[in-house]
Every structure is written in structure tokens, then in C-alpha cells.
Amino acid sequence: MSFFFPEMKASQYFSMSLFLLILLISCPWLISANPHLNNFLGCLDSFYSNHISQVIYTQNNASYSSVLNATIQNLRFSTPTTPKPLVIVTPLQTSHIQATIRCSRTNGLNLRIRSGGHDFEGLSYVSQVPFVVLDLTNFRSVKIDVKNKVAWVQSGAILGEFYSEIAKRSRTLAFPAGICHTVGVGGYLSGGGYGLLLRKYGLAVDNVIDAVFIDVNGRILKRKSMGEDLFWAIRGGGGGSFGVVLSWKVKLVSVPSTVTVFTIRKTLEENATNLVHQWQSVGHKLPGDIFSAVTMRKVNRNGKTTILVAFSSFFLGETNALITLMKAGFPELGLKKEHCTEMSWIESILYFGQIQNKSIDVLLDRSYKSPLNAPMVQNKIRLRQKPNSKSWIRKDLV
Ligand SMILES: Cc1cc2nc3c(=O)[nH]c(=O)nc-3n(C[C@H](O)[C@H](O)[C@H](O)COP(=O)(O)OP(=O)(O)OC[C@H]3O[C@@H](n4cnc5c(N)ncnc54)[C@H](O)[C@@H]3O)c2cc1C
């Protein structure tokens, strides 16, 4: 006699218990105390979706923490009190993504989409309400069409994987994106994307020509079927706002087989204030083939605190041409041949990523700890529309 099923015979009760036991052994992710999670998992299970149990990580799963932490870049959002997802899904096929969207929606769970995990506020893996992380780590194929200068890249690829695939096929093709190679394509393109080729070729999203997108109803859309408004919005309107972008079709851009880079460092005692002041009014007038940036940091020189200013440039051409252009546009910097290094575009990604003594295969390393990433820092961007005065620069620097 069963308390739950009074009419059931002992043999029927035994068969049913056996069935439930087998179900729980074969689907351990169904064991959960959380009703949201139970309903979500039950929904996934009932959904027609092949092998989905292999890509589900609940908090009971031994791999849960390593999967969650694999791409967390900002340790401010990886503390014991940081809210954790009820479940992480690492889909292998499109139907897994559709099922995850539908089941989180019908069960009132927030869905966080994660590609490379570099979100400054941890938005791809933190939420204040019960949530699911959809991690696109298995969606990272890259297809390059050298002849037509286009590529399809999936969102879960990191920029380094994309760059490597381009460089494998051609020394004179590139994609205008950022210098931190572990940033994910999905979040990067969702935010617009700036990089070394910005002045010549615009933002990364200016070079996106199609996309495969899954909307809140699980529909798969391309540029034509989603319409130009949505296509405009997903290219810079902010990740996680409209749906899941699965892959992007992009134009590749031409670069010379040799590019030139340099970094000239000056302290306050070496005229840095005047040079920064001047750079503000000449930097943007340099030809579009030159990308020029200034970074500053406090250093100790001979027991005295000073500021070290680095003037860095990337040029689409060879040293002699760069020196001629810099002499005309910013002679005060005093650029000489010995400051310059010639290399390929792909090598320049390592140079600006501050990666030394490593082969370009490092670009495939998703877990590489980039020196560009300050893991506990909150980034702030302050845009100035007018050049800063010398006294303001001095005050700001010191
Ligand atoms: C060290 C470092 C260096 C950086 N350098 C640059 C740079 O040079 N140029 C530049 O432009 N930016 C740069 N960024 C900013 C970076 O581009 C953004 O933080 C970007 O959103 C990170 O993308 P991700 O896929 O790695 O991050 P994630 O944390 O995975 O995603 C970021 C956001 O996009 C959403 N999202 C992710 N994938 C998808 C998808 N497939 N569909 C829909 N939404 C999605 C997430 O939900 C989240 O809201 C840098 C960031 C860091 C930490």
C-alpha cells in the first residue's frame, strides 16, 4: 500500500519506484531541492532535444565550479557571496539553445548568455534573481572565405581563435577588433568593438554583414528575416538585450604583409606633459593608417615618484613611410628608426596585448591571463570633448 498512490497495488508501486530510481540514476541533474530548477530541468527533459543532459551542470555536479569559473575575468564577481546560477547549460547544438531559452522563460528564470566572460560588470554570469547561464563555449567555429574576403564566426570563439584562423589563411587579411585575445566574439560584437584598425576600418560592427540570431521565442533568424532594425540593434546595442546571437558574418579587411609598431616612453622630467598636451591636438589628424594611443602610469625613478607616459602606435606600412608621416604630423615626439619594429598584423596583436616570448599559438589559449586584464578593477571611461590644458594634465597625472 502506498501513502501517495492509495489505489496502487504493491507490484505496480514497486515497478514505478524502480522506474523513478532508474530515471534519477540516469539523469542525476533531475535531483534538486529548488522548485524553479526542478521545473526547468523537467522542461528540458520533456523538450525534444538530443543529448541535452550531457551539457547541464547543476550545483550538485562535480564540474559545476570549474565550468562556472572557466571564463570569469573579474574576480569582484567570483566571491562566496556572489549569486550563482542554478544551472549552467553548455549547448552543443542549436536545439539545446532553443530549449534553454524556452524553459527558462516558461519557468520565470533569468537567462544570462556568456561567450568570453569579459563583461566588466559580470553580467554574463551574475544575476540578482534566480538564473541560468547559457555558456556558448562549444559554439566557436570559424570559417574563412579568403577569395570573397568574408568569414562566419560563432559567438563562443575568442578573438584570438578568430585572428589565428585568419592568419593561417592569409598574411594580408585581418579583422578590425581588439587587442585582448581572450575577449569573446559574442560580447565584443554586441558592444560595437574598437581596436587598432578603428581609424582605417571603423568599429568591428561596421564590418558585420549578417548574423544568425535566436529570439525569445526560440526562432532562428538571419538578417533578412529579423529585419534591419533588429540587425542594427544587435550590432552594438549591448549584449544580452535582444536574444542570443549564434554567429556573425563579417567582412575581412586588407592589411599590408608588413606593419610597423613603436612605443616611446617619457617621464614628466622628459617633457611628457608638453607631449601629451600636443598629442591631443595632432593625434586625430595623423593619416588613418596610423593608430596612436597614450597610456600613463605612476612609477618610481631613483626614489622619486613620477609619471611614465607611453606613446604607442600601429602603422599599416613600413618603417620609412611611418617616420616620414610622423615627422610631418608630430615631429616633437622624435620618432627614429630604432624605435620601430616591423612585423605581421597577427604579431602586432601579441605586441599590443603585451605578450612576450610566446608563439602566436598563445592566441588559442582561452585561459591565458592577459596583462591587460586587471582582475579586481572596476573600469570607468571618461570622455573629454576638448583637449585638456597643460595644468589639468599635470594635476591629473600626478
Ligand atoms: C581585459 C579586457 C580588454 C578589453 N579590450 C577591449 C578592446 O580592446 N576593445 C573593445 O571594444 N572592448 C574591449 N573590452 C570590452 C569587451 O569587448 C566587452 O566587455 C565584451 O562585452 C566582452 O565580451 P565577452 O564575450 O568576452 O563577454 P561576456 O561576459 O561573455 O558577455 C558580455 C555581454 O554580452 C552578452 N553576450 C555574450 N555573448 C552573447 C551572445 N552570443 N548573444 C547575445 N549577448 C551575448 C552577455 O550576456 C553580457 O551581457 C575589453 C574587456 C576586457 C575585460
Residues above pLDDT 90, as percent of the chain: 77
Q: Is the CB of 114 under 6 A from ligand 1?
A: yes
Q: Which atom of ligand 1 is nearest to the CA of 374?
A: 1
Mean pLDDT of 312-325: 98
The pLDDT of residue 3 is 32
Ligand 1 midpoint to CA 102 (Å): 24
The pLDDT of residue 381 is 77
The pLDDT of residue 100 is 96
Pick 259-343's CATH classification: 3.40.190.10, 3.40.50.620, 3.40.50.720, 3.40.462.20.
Answer: 3.40.462.20
* Count of alpha carbons within 13 angstroms of residue 336, beta-carbon side: 2
Q: Is the CB of 240 under 6 A from ligand 1?
A: yes
pLDDT beyond 50 at 342:
yes
Considering only the top CATH level, what class is 142-254? Answer: alpha beta
Which residue has the CA at smallest separation from atom 45 of ligand 1? 239
pLDDT beyond 50 at 127:
yes
Ligand 1 midpoint to CA 152 (Å): 18
The pLDDT of residue 6 is 41
The pLDDT of residue 1 is 31
The pLDDT of residue 5 is 38
DSSP string, 102-121: HHHHHTT-EEEEESS---TT
Tell me the three state secondary structure of residue 52: helix
Q: Is the CB of 118 under 6 A from ligand 1?
A: yes
Give pLDDT tens digits for 32-42: 557 889 999 99
The pLDDT of residue 379 is 72
Name the average pLDDT for the chain: 90
Every domain of the chain and the residues it spans: 32-135, 142-254, 259-343
The CATH T-level fold of domain 32-135 is 3.30.43
- pLDDT-derived band at 16 (thresholds 50, 70, 90) equals low
pLDDT beyond 70 at 25:
no
Higher pLDDT: 21 or 334? It is 334
- pLDDT-derived band at 88 (thresholds 50, 70, 90) equals very high
The pLDDT of residue 373 is 77
Q: Is the CB of 187 under 6 A from ligand 1?
A: yes
Q: Which atom of ligand 1 is nearest to the CA of 242?
A: 43
Which residue has the CA at smallest separation from atom 3 of ligand 1? 180
pLDDT beyond 60 at 256:
yes
Read off the amino acid at residue 387: P
Residues with Cβ within 8 Å of residue 45, at least 6 apart in sequence: 27, 30, 52, 53
